[in-house]
Structure formats: C-alpha cells, structure tokens
Amino acid sequence: GVDCLYQAYLDDIFAVPYLKWGQHRFWGLDRVEGFLRVWQADDETPAVEPPPKLEKAYDTDQAGGCG
C-alpha cells in the first residue's frame, strides 16, 4: 500500500477519481467526460456507453471536492 501511495505522489495525483492519458490529467467525477473525449480521440475502438447524467449532485462543494 505504501508503494502505491508513493507512486501516486510521484504521478502528482490530486484527487479521486484521477485519470491520466499522456500529458492530460483529470481529477474528480466532473472531469470523466473530458477524459473520455481525449481518450476516444486516440482510440479507434468503440467506447463504453456513458452512464446517465445525474439530475443534481449530492455534494455542494467545489468541483473536485477541494474547498
């Protein structure tokens, strides 16, 4: 577990979920769609159907949960 935390530190992981594609970094649930757009641009295979959008968020904090 400590090795995983150290590797996360080296990768500059800021929050979860944290997704990285090349030099692009995405953190927080509100960034998943942006990650999928970048990922799909590099990938010719069909992507998974995205889940339905939430009608309202459960958290009123800032995007990414930092606040």
pLDDT tens-digit profile of 8-35? 888 877 667 878 888 888 877 778 888 8
Looking at the predicted structure, is the pLDDT value of residue 43 above 80? Answer: no
Contact 30, 16 (CB under 8 A): no
Looking at the predicted structure, is the pLDDT value of residue 37 above 60? Answer: yes
- Structure tokens of 20? 């990285």
- The CA distance from 64 to 57, in Å, is 12
pTM value is: 0.40
Average pLDDT over residues 54-61: 69
Q: What was the pLDDT predicted at 38?
A: 86
- In sequence order, the β-bridge partners of residue 26 are 19
Sequence spans of domains, the chain: 1-44
**% residues pLDDT > 70 (the chain):** 67
- Structure tokens of 61? 């904090």
* Residue 49 Rama label (left phi>0; alpha psi -120 to 50; beta): beta
